[in-house]
Amino acid sequence: MCDYIYTPKDQTMKELNQKLAVIQTKLKAKKSSYNSFGKYHFRKSEDILEAIKPFLIEHGVTVTINEEIMATDPVPTIKSTATISDGENSIHATALVGVDLNQKGMQTAQQFGAASTYGKKYALGNLLLIDDTEDADAQKPSKAVDKIKQAAKLDITADQLKKAKEYIAAGGDIKAIETKYKLTDEQRKNLTEVKK
């Protein structure tokens, strides 16, 4: 029988995991903002950062957030990484957010800022186990999210359209195809005719 022996680095990583578990258990980040249109309270990344500050010195850790552009086509995508570190070891959690460049009433800097704030909030939420499923914004996808999903869909090629027709002829559903591909009105009409 062989017992696992912690090296000093393993021991400090284990200690960081324990510190993170304590913070995840005790952290309470209030929802300080209110959406009057949807009539719900929500938290911002600033609320989470404010709530975690008392734990930093107490547990000898730092929390940082880094961002990078992961893609620009079909929409700019920002990767936000939240990190907790004890100076030697670190634990990371990420979130990916698309930037809606067609959002009316916003300049490009504001569109990127909104996506950045959203990404930071969810990266921190992933790291600290903050669940937002009860929020109305988690239950009702915004038009911006719908636009991003639509923009991410691929144009269907002639070969894929042929396979789609075979799929429809075999009893498949057009909606299943539309979840992955953009269809023109004419392509949709052709697939509907196959279904008949």
pLDDT at 53: 95
pLDDT at 91: 94
**Unique residue bearing structure tokens 């988690």:** 138
pLDDT at 50: 92
In terms of pLDDT, which residue wins out, 7 or 169? 169
Q: State pTM to two decimals.
A: 0.60
d(CA 119, CA 126): 10
Cα 156 from chain centroid (whole Å): 26
In terms of pLDDT, which residue wins out, 106 or 179? 106
Cα–Cα nearest to 81, from 98, 56, 64: 64
pLDDT at 155: 77
pLDDT at 79: 94
pLDDT at 56: 95
pLDDT at 183: 82
In terms of pLDDT, which residue wins out, 1 or 189? 189
pLDDT digits (tens, 9 = 90+) for 56-67: 999 999 999 999
Section 176-185 average pLDDT? 78
Band (2; pLDDT cuts 50, 70, 90): very low
pLDDT digits (tens, 9 = 90+) for 60-108: 999 999 999 988 888 899 999 999 999 999 999 999 998 888 877 888 8
pLDDT digits (tens, 9 = 90+) for 129-175: 887 654 444 444 555 556 666 666 667 778 778 877 877 777 777 77
Question: In the predicted model, is pLDDT for residue 28 greater than 50?
Answer: yes
